Structure 1
């Protein structure tokens, strides 16, 4: 490999100038001696303080969660009240032809049954939102678990209602 003479000469001159700059005693260069903090004892890592966890629902959330649970119970009561007529209608429409009177009536009944659970579905949406807000505020794991228990209760109700509706729609055939 051959290096061009002009390029080689330029590189050598640049290197020589750089090395001579390092050897000048008159300059304002930083000292290479140890700094005081480098000789001191290393910083101790503070012991982690245990995170305080909420063990009971705060007063500010008791009313809200109780209201959501009551709303869920209302939705479930309305659903349960509408279920027998809807079930009877679906069973009588089982095997009915698509679009027939019995088929259409069963679909109307199931639509009403679905609408009757609106309070439960709305309560689930509200508890989901409340948990998101509290998480954004930095709520501890204990509070999130307490709110999660309310969420689970409501979600279980909504899931049960949804399963019943799916079974009834399967009975009449969509």
Structure 2
């Protein structure tokens, strides 16, 4: 009988929320003000400039909302899948290729900062400080990420044949 899939969604912490809100505030002030306030020299903003400013405003606001709403999705079934939404990052690992999975406490210092980071020998996904796990993969880069229950995650990997010791 197959074990039940292990699934978890780790929301971003306050840090990413404040980074997203701060980015939104900065872009509204720096891009929105030239659109709303008349120029002191009396020159109107041209159509091309207006289009560029509006496109910058919209694009950066979408990015800011994405940063504020980032989530790490972890699923262990036939493969280990770790995704960061709403962005592009997704990694799929066959449990048979996992050589170890070590629970650890993650923070910005031991993970080279917050977000999606390259660390020596691997990748770190960190949206907030707290418990996490580092997964070593045979012949590939390791993966370190936050999860709410590292022991349950390691047990789910072990149930699917991963060498977690």
Give the greater-gyration-radius structure (CA): 1
In the superposition, the TM-score normalised over structure 2's length comes to: 0.27
Larger fraction in strand: 2
